[in-house]
Structure 1
Amino acid sequence: MENKQEFKRSLSLYDSTMIVIGSMIGSGIFIVSAPIAQTMGSAGWLILVWLITGFMTIVAAVSYGELSGMFPKAGGQYVYLKEAYNPFISYMYGWSLFAVIQTGTIAAVGVAFSKFAAYLFPVLSEDNYLFTLSGFKISAAQITAILLIVLLTWNNTKGIKQGKIIQSFFTSIKVISLFGLIICGLYALKSDVWQSNWSNAWNAGTLSLDKASNVWEFVPYATTGAILGAIASSMTGSLFSSDAWNNVTFIAAEIKNPNRNIGLSLFLGTLVVTIIYVGANFMYLSVLNMQQIAGAEKDRVAVAASGAIFGDWGMYIIAVMIMISTFGCNNGLILSGARVYYTMAQDGVFFKKAANLNKHAVPEWALYAQMILASLLCLSGRYGDLLDMISFVAVMFYVLTILGIFILRKKRPELQRPYKSFGYPVLPFIYIILGVSFCILLLIYKPAYTWPGLIIVLVGVPFYFIAQKNKKLEEE
């Protein structure tokens, strides 16, 4: 009976757009501007990093519109890679998604929820260790993160409607709250802070605190190559914060009128998020100087900015906002990721049971498999290290997917394309150049962000050939 179940098309354009926005906005925008400020050193470069990220994200999203129109199937990007290249390339993407990209992000967002919940309920603090497990100290924050992941996974096993209700509700609240915070911050603009930030807006260099003298030091970059390397390094954070927009393609089989609505939701969702992200950074620059942004305690720039705007209540306001944001973000990640593993199982390259839908027409087994790995990453405490590699691996596959548009135009010209990539071939080509440049610069200047990620991807290779061998044995 399970195998005969089919996905139900019950998501509207609004629902799809909320999944794009909700999956993108987690905890990153509240935190990563601090390390970007430390690396770039000035206001102009801080904003430029977010503008480049926004441009790349929107171009990639509208390019995926063409692919989603041709292949409105569960699995999204996994399917696009298989059609443009071969099953092996798509498998490597699916493996990377399961091994680190999706599950690692779910773990990180879950722990971020716990960390900010500790502002309201100190007992949930990451410093409150409950017990030791195989040499690992397990904190209340980690347990809370796991409980959150379990709760959202269970809710999503009850059907797509259950998941979309949570997604639409929490995403709406977070968007309204973020726009409200930006407006309040710009209204509270401190003219002396603003002028200080923009007086030397285009001096690129590192900004660091000399602990001995307690004085901030600015060290300019000596070469253009160093500046480009710094931009690439900074963008690991901004790209991670802007990632997961493609999750809506994973649930294509459950979207009404997917040929139209997937591409449109990708554009609308990424545009709204880009406006919010750039606006949030202008808000930070309105009430905090560059040293305060770079030196925010534990990189919590939004907490510092909210304190400058609202006073003592600021910390609690931002804590509630981030709890809402991360709750909705994790729901979208959990909901969509399992659909890729379902499609992989249908192709015989993932656990067989993941190919089944339950009585609510959702891949329950795949949801729980994802939950288990994400929970283990929460316990390991190593999810942070894994996330450093996500941007490199994710952009690598984005580049391959967008290159697939060019390949499919030659390889499958007969396919109907209800929506064609905007600005083709110029904008997709620009994205490919920017994406390849980003990956090369990281390889040169920040190898710690790249080689471990590649190793994780390559670890999946033997599993593919084992799966292929098992398929042949079953066919015989």
Structure 2
Amino acid sequence: MQAQAEVGQDVGYVRRLGAWSAAMMVVGGVIGGGIFLNPATIAQRTGSGWTLLAAWVAGGLLTLAGALCYAELGVRRPQAGGSYVYLREAFGSLAAFLFGWTMLLVNYSGSIASVSIIFGRYACIGFGLPLTWVKPLAVGAMVFLTGVNWFGIRAGAFTQNLLTVLKLLAVAALVVTGVFLAGGDLPAALGPDPARTDLSTWAFAGALLPVLFTYGGFSYVNTVAGEVRDPQRAIPRALGLGMLLVMVCYVLANLAYLAALGHDGLAHSAAPAAEVMSRVFGDNGARAIALGIAVSTFGYCNIALIGSARVLQVMGEDGLFFRFAAKLHPRWRTPNLALALVAAWAVTLALSGTFEQLLDYSTIGDWLGYAAAIATLFWYRRMRADEAAAYRTPLHPLLPLVFVATVAAVVAVMVFTTPRNAGMCMLIIGAGVPVYGLWRRLAPR
């Protein structure tokens, strides 16, 4: 099956991505700036180095379970659109529209804007530029990546592969420096932290929240499934192996932080990656890892632009978005107009400075989208039982049940701890219902 855009033209996607590029999209979609910046929060909510590592392993295994479920969905529907397509088939056009609505308005565009600002900030640090260059660099990054991806999925994939290899090298440099060169005491760091002996089980549950958010982004490869060669084999391999590689990187990076800083030192560090590198290499080390963070965030923006544009293209094809967004470039076979629209909105958010608040509101919606998409697997297994699938999720229905239940628990914790953000998220999603009704009424048939 190959996705087609048949809105006044006979142009469809072309399967040009191999398994390697698909796996790099998985890795690049997950590893952004979080692993370099956020581990201190997890350390503050855990009582020992072993507990901290257990949180990262648990989060990785849960995300791997979700990725294996997405692998079956990608095999069943190897076409552009990913979660949007699964929700449309299983739960109807309203559920699919609400996913696309929050994706465009907040989730994907807000994350692109936010991460591009992080890119600009660390590029300034790495190159010694004044911070007044942050927003121009962020906007320039989005415009540049839009231009690269305008010229076909191969151009975007080549850029993604290069950036992902560079970010893996940055992680490797961090691990080698922290574990072998910084001169810390890893065995002591793995033991109990005297400053945090009174933490409860509830605190560990709170530690899982930022861990899970750092593991997010594995579903981007499903949005480009219509451009993957031999998707029945390539998509499961990319999701499975890609997530295993991410989990190894995250655990090793945290070992480096613990070895160099200790558990309490990590809990008090505002920029642990820079602190580890500067302990061995001074200011040059801090600037080098700043460039590594810039490369990593640049790569995330690339895959987020690629994925979100495909979702909008399919929505336009279904009549649930502007019809012009459904068009593919006749030569490059890219959703160039949808790509430009996503980039324009992300640039607007970045320049306005509203993306940070939107991201606070969208976190729940992002994970609800994952859970809803994985829940469609039950529908496919029951209503499309006669379909032959080259890959089936192992331990079904256990894995999807565990994933959906855990996400429900995470959302419950967020509602309890941040009721304002949870309420705003629900309002944003709910606002899509009248918009959907109006769109269905006014859209040309």
C-alpha distance in 1 between matches for 2:351 and 2:262: 37
8 Å Cα contact 1:33-1:281 kept in structure 2: yes
Q: Residue 189 of structure 1: CA displacement?
A: 5.6
C-alpha distance in 2 between matches for 1:41 and 1:2: 61
CA RMSD of aligned residues (A): 2.0
The number of residue pairs the alignment matches comes to 438
Partner in structure 2 of residue 326 of structure 1: 297
Q: Residue 288 of structure 1: CA displacement?
A: 0.2
1:284-303 residue pairs with structure 2 within 5 A? 284-296=257-269, 299-303=270-274
8 Å Cα contact 2:174-2:273 kept in structure 1: no
Q: Residue 361 of structure 1: CA displacement?
A: 0.8
Partner in structure 2 of residue 154 of structure 1: 147
1:65-214 residue pairs with structure 2 within 5 A? 65-125=71-131, 128=132, 140-188=133-181, 190-192=183-185, 194-200=186-192
Partner in structure 2 of residue 17 of structure 1: 23
Q: Does 1:435 align with 2:398?
A: no
Q: Does 1:55 align with 2:58?
A: no
Partner in structure 1 of residue 371 of structure 2: 399
Q: Residue 153 of structure 1: CA displacement?
A: 0.6
Partner in structure 1 of residue 384 of structure 2: 412
Q: Residue 51 of structure 1: CA displacement?
A: 1.7
C-alpha distance in 2 between matches for 1:186 and 1:469: 61
**Which of 12, 31, 34 lines up with 2:37 in the alignment?**
31
C-alpha distance in 2 between matches for 1:388 and 1:232: 19
Partner in structure 2 of residue 469 of structure 1: 441
8 Å Cα contact 1:22-1:329 kept in structure 2: yes
- Deviates most, 252-261 or 234-243: 234-243
C-alpha distance in 2 between matches for 1:105 and 1:325: 14
8 Å Cα contact 1:114-1:124 kept in structure 2: no
C-alpha distance in 2 between matches for 1:351 and 1:234: 41
SS in 1 for 2:12: coil
Partner in structure 1 of residue 4 of structure 2: none
Partner in structure 2 of residue 259 of structure 1: 232
Q: Residue 196 of structure 1: CA displacement?
A: 4.2
Partner in structure 1 of residue 354 of structure 2: 382
**Which of 156, 179, 198 lines up with 1:220 in the alignment?**
198
Q: Residue 391 of structure 1: CA displacement?
A: 3.3
C-alpha distance in 1 between matches for 2:168 and 2:327: 35
Which amino acid is the alignment partner of residue 220 of structure 1? D
Q: Residue 342 of structure 1: CA displacement?
A: 0.3
User: Per-residue CA shift, 1:409-454, capped at 9, x if unaligned?
Assistant: 1122112211101221222221122111111121123324422222
8 Å Cα contact 1:33-1:46 kept in structure 2: no
Shift in alpha-carbon separation, 1:286–1:390, aligned structure 2, 3 A: farther
Shift in alpha-carbon separation, 1:234–1:99, aligned structure 2, 3 A: farther
Q: Residue 384 of structure 1: CA displacement?
A: 2.0
SS in 2 for 1:123: coil
SS in 2 for 1:243: coil
User: Per-residue CA shift, 1:242-283, capped at 9, x if unaligned?
Assistant: 211100100111111112211211111111111101110111
Q: Residue 121 of structure 1: CA displacement?
A: 3.4
Which amino acid is the alignment partner of residue 414 of structure 1? D
User: Per-residue CA shift, 1:68-124, capped at 9, x if unaligned?
Assistant: 111111101111111221111111111111111111111111111111112133434
Q: Residue 173 of structure 1: CA displacement?
A: 1.9
Q: Residue 385 of structure 1: CA displacement?
A: 2.3
Shift in alpha-carbon separation, 1:146–1:191, aligned structure 2, 3 A: closer
C-alpha distance in 2 between matches for 1:90 and 1:311: 50
8 Å Cα contact 1:188-1:286 kept in structure 2: no
**Which of 241, 244, 252 lines up with 1:279 in the alignment?**
252
8 Å Cα contact 2:174-2:276 kept in structure 1: no
1:306-385 residue pairs with structure 2 within 5 A? 306-359=277-330, 360-385=332-357
8 Å Cα contact 1:26-1:329 kept in structure 2: yes
Q: Residue 191 of structure 1: CA displacement?
A: 4.8
8 Å Cα contact 2:167-2:296 kept in structure 1: yes
C-alpha distance in 2 between matches for 1:290 and 1:314: 21
TM-score (normalised: structure 1) = 0.87
8 Å Cα contact 2:182-2:276 kept in structure 1: no
Which amino acid is the alignment partner of residue 363 of structure 2? S
Shift in alpha-carbon separation, 1:22–1:187, aligned structure 2, 3 A: same
Q: Residue 323 of structure 1: CA displacement?
A: 1.7
User: Per-residue CA shift, 1:374-415, capped at 9, x if unaligned?
Assistant: 111111222222223443222212122222111221122112
Gaps of 5+ in 1: 129-139, 204-216
C-alpha distance in 2 between matches for 1:466 and 1:321: 46
Shift in alpha-carbon separation, 1:41–1:200, aligned structure 2, 3 A: closer
